[in-house]
Amino acid sequence: MRDISRRGMIGLGAGAAAGLGLAACGTASQDAPGGGGGSRGDGHPGAPRQAAKPIGDGSTAFTGEQPGRPDRPEPLEPGETPPQFVVFSWDGAGEVGTGLFDRFLGLAEKYDARMTFFLSGLYLLPESKKRMYDPPNNLRGASDIGYLTDDHIRQTLKLVRRAWLAGHEIGTHFNGHFCAGSGSVADWTPSQWRSEIEQAKSFVKEWRTNTGWTDLPPLPFDYDKELVGGRTPCLLGQENLLPTARRLGWRYDASSPGGRQRWPRKNQGLWDLPLQEMPFPGHTFEVLSMDYNILANQSVNTTRAPSYNYPAWRTQAAQSYISGFQRAYETNRAPFFIGNHFEEWNGGIYMDAVEQAFTYVARQRENGEDVRMVSFRDFADWLDVQRPEVLARLRSLEVGERPAGGWKTFLRDVGKDSGRGSGADTDSDT
């Protein structure tokens, strides 16, 4: 196996999957999403606490405050050590019968953790209705990911409902996942992004009309209010997406084509929460914190490499995530963002690695450490109440840099008299 430089590795993460005939972010091929759970009945502790009020055609409904959300965040006190935030996120978030959506919902339930699911709107549109989708710069009905079968759409609806009732966030991964060629999202204008977003929302808000099904309960949220962030296909097109996202009232974006393990700042008014470079055991370069990028470096884009490689690659992937967590936790406490897909590449080793890392992080919290496994939205909530001076001081720490004199000294005199923060970021709002 050849080494891929850090620069080349990040480039692969942004778009190399086009050469595979599959997408780096969310695919409905045989190497993609999974799950097998059912919806939660009204008697389940996670069910809505008030009668559902249908919205539009009844595909969604207002059901009151979302269950399972963290307590209201508070600003750090002077000298207080910041928590270690970890966000696990999933691109596509569709179900094709492999059990993975259900598997990781169950894991989150076991450890009382929250995640973000970036739902591809197209995963709720029957293929028979594909011409309803009018993608910018592409033929009507075109998509670089496959449409789901009717049965898999039904299962996706059940699992998305279950996820929201457990406190997870439902963001967006948009629709057709165009990463290459003249129709790539890299070249879309702000108005074209607006069209893509409105279509993604409509497929979620009108699944009942589009499918004709009346035997499933509505999704228990108002998607116009629920949707506050997303991740673009192949991490492309952020520059022109952000003006539209800001006008729509989004609060963050997770589409930056590579970040470092430092405290975040805002970009065009939104929190910029990118995938991050993390240690890659056995190499001098780092790898982006996503399953596809690890695969690209291990098997050079092959999703069915010889199986004798799997044990070592599985261990390497898990240790990469764990090393990224440890580096942040032991030094600057920068949030750690991990992105993945419900896939079975190379025998499912990357899903095993994510579960190992998830379990490791959760057990640190069980051992009394201040580790918070949250969604991007929940993390944005925390950022928004922090004093700007405190966030600026946190951003001064480099990757792997410990605060001079310890946290009590480092944050002792910052923002004492500025009152409750609003998370303003005036020195970095570009």
Strand partners, 84: 371
* Number of residues written out for the chain: 430
Query: What 3-state class would DSSP assign to 179?
Result: coil
- 272 touches 428 (CB < 8 A): no
User: Cβ–Cβ contacts within 10 Å for residue 44, how many?
Assistant: 13
Extended beta strands in 321-409, E state: 336-340, 371-373
Chain centroid to CA 196: 18
User: How large a percentage of the chain has pLDDT more than 70?
Assistant: 85
Residue whose token pair is 């620069």: 7
pLDDT of residue 49: 58
d(CA 375, CA 366): 19
Residue whose token pair is 């764990």: 322
pLDDT of residue 257: 84
* Predicted TM-score (pTM) of this structure: 0.89
pLDDT of residue 30: 32
- 228 touches 354 (CB < 8 A): no
Mean pLDDT of the chain: 88
Q: Would you say residue 102 has pLDDT above 50?
A: yes
Q: Which helix (H) or strand (E) holds 173?
A: none
Superfamily of domain 6-38+71-410: Glycoside hydrolase/deacetylase (3.20.20.370)
pLDDT tens digits, one per residue of 167-214: 999 999 999 999 999 999 999 999 999 999 999 999 999 999 999 999
pLDDT of residue 4: 33
Is pLDDT larger for residue 18 or for residue 384? Answer: 384
The alpha carbon dihedral of 402, 408, 410, 414 has a sign of: positive
Going by pLDDT thresholds of 50, 70 and 90, the confidence category of residue 416 is: low
Residue whose token pair is 């045989």: 30
Determine phi and psi for 198, rounding to 5 degrees. -60, -35
Query: What angle do helix axes 291-299 and 349-366 make, rounded to 10 degrees?
Result: 130
- 39 touches 327 (CB < 8 A): no
pLDDT tens digits, one per residue of 267-309: 999 999 999 999 999 999 999 999 999 999 999 989 999 999 9
d(CA 311, CA 213): 44
Going by pLDDT thresholds of 50, 70 and 90, the confidence category of residue 422 is: low
